[in-house]
Chain A
Amino acid sequence: MTQAQPGQLAPDFTLAALGGEAVTLSHGRGRPHLLVFLRHLG
């Protein structure tokens, strides 16, 4: 699989927020985002 690299469009996603609505990354255009992917929750 080709990994997304800086300078490329960030892969879009829609995920459910805990206790809230679904969040779509591209709907947040206009603000910078920091995406923190956790490993296990321990």
Chain B
Amino acid sequence: MAQLRHFEAELRRLDVQILVISFGAEFWARAWLQETGSPFPLLLDPERSAYRAYGLERSFVRVWSPKVMWHYTRRVLAGQKLQSIRGDPHQLGGDFVVDAQGVLRLAYRSKDPVDRPPVAELLAVLSNLATGAHR
């Protein structure tokens, strides 16, 4: 999210509507919004109907994998404070680009909790949409 905020001006230039979706409870969603200062609309999906529609999985094995444990260990060793888990830790997220006609142009389903698409990749797809390069 911090990365996206860094590119907020570029996303605005590309006239991209960003929608952030969470399955979390409203109380935690408000706390998250306050902590992150995210300027983007936050949609609540407690039933996870949109998560299911976009094929986003729950996975115990991938959430507690050695790779993920190592990621968090390094963050702790670097002096970073880890936030407590609020809600189902096994639900995975993802990022999707939808064009102006409603067609899916990029689908990135996280393989584990620390797997997110590079923002540069998202921006490249969105830039191509803006210039019509995908047609």
Contact = CB atoms under 8 A, between A and B. Distances in A.
Q: Do A and B come from one complex?
A: yes
Interface residues of A, number: 35
Among A3, A18, A40, A42, max chain B CB count under 10 A is at A40
Interface in A18-42: 18, 20, 23, 25-26, 28-42
Contact of A40 (B18, B30, B88): B88
A40 B94 contact: no
Contacts of A25: 19, 98, 102
Contacts of A23: 19, 41, 43
Interface in B24-83: 24, 26, 28-33, 40-45, 49-56, 82-83
Nearest to B105: A6
Contact of A16 (B28, B44, B110): B44
Among B26, B84, B102, max chain A CB count under 10 A is at B102
B93 A38 contact: yes
B52 A34 contact: no
B26 A18 contact: yes
A29 B103 CA distance: 10
Nearest to A21: B41
A2 to B, nearest CB: 8
A42 B83 contact: yes
Given A9-B102, A25-B98, 8 more contacts: A8-B103, A10-B102, A18-B41, A25-B19, A35-B97, A36-B1, A40-B86, A40-B91
Interface of A: 1, 3-13, 15-18, 20, 23, 25-26, 28-42
